[in-house]
Structure 1
């Protein structure tokens, strides 16, 4: 399928009167004090050198043992993370529920390798699933396969030639891979038992192939009657629209519901740098416009095949969210269709999340939690993402200022 130009998919007027400029809805859940704290953080992040320097020295300072935990917890951690424990996170989730916003829970610990750590992460994921099942507004949890699989193993399997059966031709790693598959199965089995969706995060392109294959296997096992397992499609890669179509064909052939979370992507600079260093074609789209076009085409594809596709519009792009709403309404589909969900990261794009919720959409905040030291890699990515997306920090800041001004005159 050739990507449809973005302008061909956009509609001039939203049928549902959603305004992403409505800051009263966007920040109703924040007190004046909290809003001023957010203003300070985004104002600081808006300085050109703050994020590049901060993301380099913060992990170092954490390792030195200097007493900076309090500073981090009361600033960037508070903005983007639910808490250090499930109990702390529950308070945030309860507050969001008052405004019709669900939660995607993410145990945000990354980068710890070793069999003991892999088993611990697996048990934590299962623990989070069981907790989510006790809450009315936590329909999903998020997992990373690299959280319970060795990076080197994933890369080896990604690069290895495959036999006709599709199995990778590396017998010496088979026992280790079997353990990874068993962990994934246990997580998905618990999710199916408790009716909680599992969103499998995307990885770097040199890890992604075995993750895709394993996730499709889990869909075939657990998505027979309803979506439980969702793969993540990064549309800033030029090959992912085609992969989405292939995944749909597999789902139809094997008789399961395809579950996908549509994102633009999170590893752009790292991907381009590695491709340049190793001399292969970058998997990243040549332009932002190409990424936008594929993303919007993916939304249209999922809605056109909604009977057998469950999808999450995980985007901070206003046009893409409005497009999804408009297409649903054009087809006479409910904004709360069981196969459609919207999501944004906690601490970002409240103007999208809360206005979608007000309009009657099923929408959630992606809410990570975990000890400060363990969540630092996630926080550094959030800071980099805000600074790398053109105008993102400025947009957040202008909306916060607008709401503070409105409250003064209200």
Structure 2
């Protein structure tokens, strides 16, 4: 996911020291000088020329609504309440508000129609069938069928309109198994043991600075049943990757919370080793820059891939589970795995961006810069120009969520960069976890949406003035 990170108090014990950016080797990230108007957001007539006035008004109203903390809090309560969301009127309200704003439709066909409109506006789509948190193999198999159908559907859409398909490993591997595998990987890192008979060849998953507090004691080995379930999960991911490879649609594998992320990275990197032999990698992992070990893990994985002669791809996001990670660390009396302030998160994001853009130049890496932050967008655009990266290069993509950072998306598209909007789809009940994260992450949406609201308001005023003066 690509959420907006806001400054919040961590409420950690005062005796715990906070890790500063120097411990991560974060370099100062100043924006290189931009050529004239590489990101022109001032000309709102050009910026919003593909959006009609009624759609612009609707988006502006929703942005204002999501900027009101009491209204957002009320929405979160409603989304969590089965008594509300389980009713027909409850579903209709959710569908007409948050669902319509953030999601692309209830099925693959509806998402395809949304994507076609997006393509006509000069942007591409990242298709994500909104499934996650499977509990057993039967659910995993059903979910895999949905993901494969989504990938196969792309062949009927306008050529190159789909930039990526997207999957959550939590949808094709039971959560409990991901937790078990993550525990064993952390214990292996902590004790430097190599007694994991089920482990396939992969890239480094954890770094010396990675948090290991989730696994305080030696976990039991996987049972025969668990090993078999892990092989089934690997086969599901391989099936999806092979279908993506056949159709030539790259696959983004989302990141999750730290209790299961080591297992997700392990499965992702194993798939990379099997499918990323071409110049354009099929499998892309995700790095969450709000984590203190993000840059170190990124460098370790990329350098290991280069030694393997492997083309590697990553999506860079800020992170989606700030509240969850902070509460868990605090309950265990340990330092949060997340940077101590938003400035360090921004610095880490830009530092990871610079690193991956360097790999794009060398031809050994591909990056999807998933950001809603205007300054990060400007930084990346300027850095890409400074390094001489062709704006049409498929190995450099920008991405934003549907319904968010419209001005940044259009500005980057107008500057000539490859831009995609993330299009989650599925029945309302199915995407509730996604909508909850959007609501929780955007409690501070007032500041995050300021640019979009200001520019939309400016364009609406311009259109009204033009209409009054008789110029249409």
TM-score of the aligned structures, taking structure 2 as reference length: 0.82
Match of 1:123 in 2: 145
The match for 1:39 is: 60
Q: Distance in 1 between matches of 2:255 and 2:106?
A: 24
Offset of 1:21 from its aligned partner? Answer: 4.0
Give 1:313 deviation, angstroms: 0.6
Counterpart-to-counterpart distance in 1, 2:195 and 2:75: 48
- Match status 1:97 vs 2:151: no
Q: Structure 2 residue aligned with 1:269, among 323, 329, 348?
A: 323
Residue aligning to 1:288: 342
Tell me, yes or no, if the aligned pair for 2:370 and 2:400 is still in contact at 8 Å: yes
Match of residue 222, structure 2, among 170, 194, 197: 170
How far is 1:112 from its partner?
Answer: 4.2
Q: 8 Å contact 1:14–1:322 — kept in the other structure? A: no
Give the alignment partner of residue 216 of structure 1, picking from 262, 266, 269: 269
**Which residue of 2 is the match for residue 145 of structure 1?**
169
Map 1:8-407 onto structure 2 (within 5 A): 10-15=31-36, 17-60=38-81, 61-135=83-157, 136=159, 137-160=161-184, 161-162=187-188, 163-164=193-194, 167=198, 169-172=221-224, 173-225=226-278, 226-306=280-360, 307-388=363-444, 391-407=447-463
User: Residues 342 and 73 (structure 1 numbering): CA distance in 2 closer, same or farther, change over 3 Å?
Assistant: same
Residue of structure 2 equivalent to 1:5? 28
CA distance in structure 2 between the aligned counterparts of 1:63 and 1:346, rounded to whole angstroms:
22
**How far apart are residue 318 of structure 1 and its match?**
1.2
Runs of 4+ in structure 1 off by over 6 angstroms are none
How many residues are aligned here?
A: 408
Gaps of 5+ in 2: 1-23, 200-220, 467-472
Partners of 2:132 and 2:84 lie apart in 1 by 15
- Is this contact kept in 2: 1:272–1:284, CA < 8 A? yes
* CA deviation after TM superposition for structure 1 residue 287, in Å: 1.2
- Unpaired runs of 5+ residues, structure 1, are none
Deviation at 1:59, TM superposition (A): 3.2
> Displacement, 1:129?
0.8
Q: Mean alpha-carbon deviation: is it higher for 182-191 or for 377-386?
A: 377-386
- Map Cα deviations across residues 286-345 of structure 1 (whole Å, 9 max, x no partner): 111111111111111111122101001100111211222212221222011121111000
TM-score by length of 1: 0.94
Deviations 1:29-48 (A, max 9, x none): 33222222222222222222
Q: Report the Cα offset of residue 68 of structure 1.
A: 2.4
How far has the Cα of 1:346 moved from its partner? 0.5
**Counterpart-to-counterpart distance in 2, 1:72 and 1:396:** 23
The verdict on how the C-alpha distance between 1:15 and 1:243 changes in structure 2, with shifts beyond 3 A counting, is farther
RMSD (Å), alpha carbons: 1.8
User: In 2, distance between residues paired with 1:333 and 1:56?
Assistant: 46
Q: Is the 8 A contact 2:134 2:170 kept in 1?
A: no
Name whichever of 210-219 and 322-331 sits farther off: 322-331
Q: What SS is found at the alignment partner of 1:337?
A: coil
SS at match of 1:51: helix
The 10-residue stretch of structure 1 (393-402 or 175-184) with the greater mean CA deviation from structure 2 = 393-402
Q: CA distance change for structure 1 residues 359 and 301 in 2, over 3 Å: closer, same or farther?
A: same
Report if the CA contact (8 A) 1:84-1:370 is conserved: yes
Greater Rg, structure 1 or structure 2? 2
Shift of 1:401: 1.7
